[in-house]
Chains A and B, each alone.
Chain A
């Protein structure tokens, strides 16, 4: 690791990527709290080019020493890039660096979408409270647009692992059960019962194979005061699969924020109706229940991984303690709720 400050190292890196720019300067570098699977920073880059001073707000997303979620940053980068300029609003991706030389860990740099909020806590205050219906309409309409998009036309079938339609559920369940097996810090009788039920009651193949965002929930998009959404973030778990998977994650009861509403915004049935209208797909109730319960298990695997990363010493940030302490039991209760035991 070099003794240069992060600002200077970013300047050095970008000087190599911007051959027509001179006098590059990074200012206002600040870490954005909350990123548990990537270190996220915002900064302003200014430079001279063609005789003029230019400036741009940028975001740096860098892999931490040990992550809550192990993912390929190239898949995340390409997913963002595929949807840029479409009806699914995303920030513009600029540079991807997969080696660890420049900034100690792989990273990417993107344009910042300025002037909007992501923190769910704001949504329970005025003037945001008054915009919940409109925000929900946008939220599940955009999710429907992700579900109806063609992964091949987006160029994502060359980046994301292929999956046969009938194997969507087993691949995902197998992966996340494996994470629980590897990382659990104590026995999980509720999650294990849920997994047995999921294996005994598999869902039908999807109507259509789609890009699955993998973490589409309130908190992972940029919103304004009138219910507009200006950027869908956190594509690090994006993959090909059943579009009902994303709908199920958005209905995971841990994302109700204690309000007993989908995403803390509207009743589940309303969210599903918006999604069906937008995607052109049918959310079969039994299949949707399967994917909602699956996502409760997936959530538990993520919270448990967070505890494991902290316990093993790979990442001692307090953000790694919050999920297991605040969400692990809530996720168990979500499982009980979806299974009809609560």
Chain B
């Protein structure tokens, strides 16, 4: 998820501190607090699931593309970088099989659907 959660949380902490000042217009403060709350809710959900989902997805894509490897470093930044590498390879594979191998294509679409379930944010409109 971009921007990275850690960086956003640091920025939000500064925003909350600024909004604690007494001379902030109430409308500005209300707007900032409402958005901060929404972002914290999304970050909170990701906190528990991010590493699990990235590792799960990386394993799934490797299996689909028959690529060897495993995630030994489970920091989110490392898992995300590997995820980006694998999803770039998935695009290449999708282009190769499109219109040529319906079974492989269906497997890729199934993985892409699953990827959006893993990334579902609270209150997602779709």
Contact of A336 with B by CB under 8 A? yes
B residues lining the A interface (CB < 8 Å):
1-3, 8, 11-12, 15, 25, 27-28, 30-32, 34-36, 38-39, 42, 80, 83-84, 87-88, 90-91, 94-95, 98, 108-109, 112-113, 115-116, 119-121, 123-126
Judging by beta carbons under 8 Å apart, are A324 and B126 in contact?
Answer: no
Judging by beta carbons under 8 Å apart, are B121 and A30 in contact?
Answer: no
> Contacts A318-B12, A336-B112 given: A254-B126 contact, CB under 8 Å?
yes
Which one of B8, B38, B84, B120 lies within 8 Å of A186 (CB-CB)? B84
Most chain B beta carbons < 10 A, residue from A253, A325, A333: A325
A residues lining the B interface (CB < 8 Å):
30-34, 185-187, 189-190, 192-193, 196, 253-258, 307, 310-311, 316, 318-319, 321-322, 324-327, 329-334, 336-337, 341-342
Chain A nearest CB, measured from B84 CB (Å): 5
Residues of A within 8 A of B126 (CB): 253-254, 256, 258, 330-331, 333-334, 337, 342
> Contacts A189-B91, A310-B3 given: A329-B121 contact, CB under 8 Å?
yes
Judging by beta carbons under 8 Å apart, are B125 and A189 in contact?
Answer: no
**Dominant SS at the B interface?**
helix
Judging by beta carbons under 8 Å apart, are B2 and A185 in contact?
Answer: yes
Taken together as a complex, chains A and B put the C-alpha atoms of A164 and B107 apart, in Å, by 40
Judging by beta carbons under 8 Å apart, are B121 and A189 in contact?
Answer: no
Taken together as a complex, chains A and B put the C-alpha atoms of A112 and B125 apart, in Å, by 30
Residues of A within 8 A of B36 (CB): 318
Chain A nearest CB, measured from B126 CB (Å): 4
